Chains A and B, each alone.
Chain A
Amino acid sequence: MEKFEKMTGLVAPMDRSNVDTDAIIPKQFLKSIKRSGFGPNLFDEWRYLDHGEPGIDNSVRPLNPDFVLNQPRYQGASILLARENFGCGSSREHAPWALLDYGFRVIIAPSYADIFFNNCFKNGILPIVLDAQVVDGLFQAVAANEGYALSVDLEAQTVITPDGKSIAFDVEEFRQHCLLNGLDDIGLTLQHVDDIRVYETRRKQEAPWLF
């Protein structure tokens, strides 16, 4: 997993609540057995006017001009500003893979669905939770200022606006540590092999039918 320390990026607004993972990456793309290449199909049904299928050339498909990510001013965005309960629905990790493949490293929203939130950290995406009011303010600022960019410092746990205002956010210490160092969860867990074996030995006594 790639390390995450600091970044500055263009912000794209996704002004809807309850954006679900089916919308983030529609199910026909889940047939892939790979982890990469989902970016061109991020928000596929909103982004294109025709129906997408795996294997077709996305570069020749008709774009929906009304869809926010298709607007010229948001090209190259790496921070997604979103509303409450972002990433609800299916547990598909293809959703963060698609966001990452598209180029998003940070999401800012008032709240997230649990599984999606968790999946982001596992893939080097930082999902930041800010107050609904603060998020609302950011939506207005993005709308008013073309090229609106934010800086994010994970170590300091701050989002810095173009006028230098610093907004603090919370992140669990362990998740922060893993993201800052690009640590692989499995490697970390395997440092505790002895604990797992001790647990299994005890559990076999208590509940042998589970083994």
Chain B
Amino acid sequence: MAGKTLYDKLWDAHVVRTQDDGTCLLYIDRHLVHEVTSPQAFEGLRLAGRKPWRVAANLATPDHNVPTTPPENGGRAQGITDPVARLQVETLDNNCDEFGITEFKMDDIRQGIVHVISPEQGATLPGMTLVCGDSHTSTHGALGALAHGIGTSEVEHVLATQCLIQRKSKNMLVSIDGAVGAGVTAKDIVLAVIGEIGTAGGTGYAIEFGGKGIRDLSIEGRMTVCNMAIEGGARAGMVAVDQKTIDYVKGRPYAPTDGQWEMAVAAWRELHSDDDAQFDHVVHINGADIQPQVTWGTSPEMVVPVDGRVPDPAQQDDAVKADGMRAALVYMGLEANTPINTISIDKAFIGSCTNSRIEDLRAAAVVAKGRKVADNVKLAMVVPGSGLVKAQAEKEGLDKIFIDAGFEWREPGCSMCLAMNADKLEPGERCASTSNRNFEGRQGQGGRTHLVSPAMAAAAAVAGHFVDVREIGE
């Protein structure tokens, strides 16, 4: 019998029962909750007279529409000014209080983007199944967990039963063979992968990321890669456990302690695909071929290396694709064949669950240090992923570096990643963004988003246009 993949192992360990048609009841170890996708689920629970099955499995925080403006600018101390958003956050607070669910409220230093705070707290552990009503839940797979986004009906289902009704996905391995070059980051790797497989390339699969290019990454870098698995169509992305994973988890508030630590580590060491495991699909990408990436269109697969040009729909044989490219060029206000490094920007956004961890901020600060945001850039903002990331950055003096360079230093939250709070692009504004979606209107109606790494976003902010971060040096 062939060996098991990491995904097979995680799946098998969580099957409660299997129906005749192959549909499974899958046990969920950790459920993360935020304000946007949970109110209707709690309401459903109440209407049916149900209670959460296992309260301790849930962890909640508001993130999507909390204000991130600094306190001195009338920030969150005054609460949320938008009454609809405020009601949603209050609803989360009330629901968590009513059902006894732990919540890091807006004034808690542990508050932040769900996908940042859970690993930070050790609430994401290797070998877990973890879900959240948010598609970027794939992030947590970086720790060797099976993690994916769910809809609100499923949020209610998990609350009520601690299980999900699921069918197993197919196995895909994406291997980054060999080391990536200097200046090439996790974000560039994952954008290159999506450029290769397309936004639907992973549909129906769980992707394991492997190869030296991935092994070399820190856990935070692996989170960036897994975060965007969903942009490649896969609900779940994951990376095998290694010593880095174990070192990362050790000592975090929710991590196992004392007698249980050794037992847990022994179990976690098994969390890798067996040598003879069979994948349904394997993609190899040569690490050395990956350059810093910039998206040019309205889908994450519309991506090119920074030294490239905006592609020409006339060169595209597939008529539906060519039409999509033309529509994207119109929306983005770009001409085919324009060199990427001549495109100037209006705003820069460093943040989101893809790139708002301490290492991301450090990488951006290296570029920002001693430089100034270019005159044509109206706003450059840095939004840490959590209160603890913010505190750490301030301890290291990164906030000063950013502020001296002309960046705004914000409170933690999703912010301009999806523009549900006051942070958004105006129509026609062009943004270098470290977030994960460049869809039409994502960062504000008519806004034009180019996805890049934190270092590349900082470089664009100081240059005023896209530039190869490797050329501007430290």
- Chain A contact residues, CB within 8 Å of chain B: 16-18, 20, 22-23, 26-28, 30-35, 45, 51, 54-55, 83-85, 88-93, 96, 111, 113-115, 118-119, 122-123, 172-174, 185-186, 188-190, 192, 195-196, 199-200, 203, 206-211
Closest residue of chain B to A209, judged by CB?
B256
B127 an interface residue at 8 Å Cβ cutoff? yes
Q: Contact check, A190 vs B439: say whether CB atoms are below 8 A apart.
A: no
Tell me the complex Cα distance, A199–B25, Å.
11
Q: Which of B25, B43, B154, B235 is within 8 Å of A33, CB to CB?
A: B43
With A85-B199, A208-B260 as known contacts, state yes or no: A192 contacts B16, CB within 8 Å. Answer: yes
Residue from the set A28, A31, A85, A88 with the largest chain B CB neighbour count within 10 Å: A31
Q: Contact check, A119 vs B203: say whether CB atoms are below 8 A apart.
A: no
Closest residue of chain A to B21, judged by CB?
A173
Q: Contact check, A91 vs B163: say whether CB atoms are below 8 A apart.
A: no
B156 an interface residue at 8 Å Cβ cutoff? yes
Tell me the complex Cα distance, A32–B151, Å.
15
Q: Contact check, A174 vs B19: say whether CB atoms are below 8 A apart.
A: yes
Chain B residues whose CB sits within 8 angstroms of the CB of A115 once the complex forms: 135, 148-151, 235
B440 an interface residue at 8 Å Cβ cutoff? yes
B337 an interface residue at 8 Å Cβ cutoff? no
Chain B residues whose CB sits within 8 angstroms of the CB of A45 once the complex forms: 440-441, 445
Q: Contact check, A207 vs B267: say whether CB atoms are below 8 A apart.
A: yes
Q: Contact check, B154 vs A122: say whether CB atoms are below 8 A apart.
A: yes
With A174-B21, A195-B16, A209-B263 as known contacts, state yes or no: A30 contacts B203, CB within 8 Å. Answer: no
Q: Contact check, B260 vs A209: say whether CB atoms are below 8 A apart.
A: yes
Chain B residues whose CB sits within 8 angstroms of the CB of A203 once the complex forms: 27
Interface segment, one of B1-9, B83-91, B369-377, B395-403: B83-91
- 9 A-B contact pairs sorted by A residue (CB < 8 Å): A18-B324, A23-B439, A30-B420, A51-B445, A85-B199, A88-B199, A90-B437, A113-B233, A209-B263
In the A-B complex, the 4 residue pairs with the smallest Cβ-Cβ separation, listed nearest first, are A209-B256, A33-B39, A122-B153, A119-B151
Chain A residues whose CB sits within 8 angstroms of the CB of B91 once the complex forms: 33
Q: Contact check, A113 vs B200: say whether CB atoms are below 8 A apart.
A: yes
Closest residue of chain B to A121, judged by CB?
B153
Q: Contact check, A89 vs B160: say whether CB atoms are below 8 A apart.
A: no
Known: A22-B418, A35-B43, A114-B204. 5 other contacts (CB 8 A): A22-B437, A33-B43, A89-B135, A92-B36, A210-B128
Chain B residues whose CB sits within 8 angstroms of the CB of A31 once the complex forms: 36, 65, 82, 84-85, 87-88, 420
Tell me the complex Cα distance, A34–B38, Å.
10
Q: Which of A91, A113, A206 is within 8 Å of B134, CB to CB?
A: A91
Q: Contact check, B441 vs A26: say whether CB atoms are below 8 A apart.
A: yes
Chain B residues whose CB sits within 8 angstroms of the CB of A55 once the complex forms: 84
Chain B residues whose CB sits within 8 angstroms of the CB of A33 once the complex forms: 39-40, 43, 87-88, 91
Chain A residues whose CB sits within 8 angstroms of the CB of B185 once the complex forms: none
Q: Contact check, B299 vs A210: say whether CB atoms are below 8 A apart.
A: no
Q: Contact check, A20 vs B445: say whether CB atoms are below 8 A apart.
A: no
Chain A residues whose CB sits within 8 angstroms of the CB of B21 once the complex forms: 172-174
B125 an interface residue at 8 Å Cβ cutoff? yes
Q: Contact check, A17 vs B267: say whether CB atoms are below 8 A apart.
A: no
Q: Contact check, A84 vs B200: say whether CB atoms are below 8 A apart.
A: yes
Q: Contact check, A189 vs B439: say whether CB atoms are below 8 A apart.
A: no
Q: Contact check, B36 vs A93: say whether CB atoms are below 8 A apart.
A: no
Q: Contact check, B165 vs A18: say whether CB atoms are below 8 A apart.
A: no
Tell me the complex Cα distance, A210–B256, Å.
8
With A16-B324, A20-B439 as known contacts, state yes or no: A88 contacts B418, CB within 8 Å. Answer: no
B161 an interface residue at 8 Å Cβ cutoff? yes
Tell me the complex Cα distance, A177–B289, Å.
49
Q: Contact check, A209 vs B125: say whether CB atoms are below 8 A apart.
A: yes
Q: Which of A20, A35, A173, A196 is within 8 Å of B25, CB to CB?
A: A196
Chain A residues whose CB sits within 8 angstroms of the CB of B16 once the complex forms: 192, 195-196, 199
**A68: min CB distance to chain B, Å:** 14
Contact with A along B147-184 (1 / 0, CB 8 A): 01111111011001111010100000000000000000
Tell me the complex Cα distance, A35–B156, Å.
13
Contact with A along B435-447 (1 / 0, CB 8 A): 0010111100100
Chain B residues whose CB sits within 8 angstroms of the CB of A32 once the complex forms: 84, 88
B50 an interface residue at 8 Å Cβ cutoff? yes
Tell me the complex Cα distance, A114–B151, Å.
11
Chain A residues whose CB sits within 8 angstroms of the CB of B195 once the complex forms: none
Q: Contact check, A190 vs B161: say whether CB atoms are below 8 A apart.
A: yes
Chain A residues whose CB sits within 8 angstroms of the CB of B324 once the complex forms: 16-18
Chain A residues whose CB sits within 8 angstroms of the CB of B149 once the complex forms: 91, 115
Chain B residues whose CB sits within 8 angstroms of the CB of A20 once the complex forms: 437, 439
Q: Contact check, A186 vs B48: say whether CB atoms are below 8 A apart.
A: yes
Q: Contact check, A91 vs B37: say whether CB atoms are below 8 A apart.
A: yes
Q: Which of B30-60 contact A (CB under 8 A)?
A: 36-37, 39-40, 43, 48, 50, 53, 56
B133 an interface residue at 8 Å Cβ cutoff? yes
Q: Contact check, B161 vs A89: say whether CB atoms are below 8 A apart.
A: no
Tell me the complex Cα distance, A30–B299, Å.
21
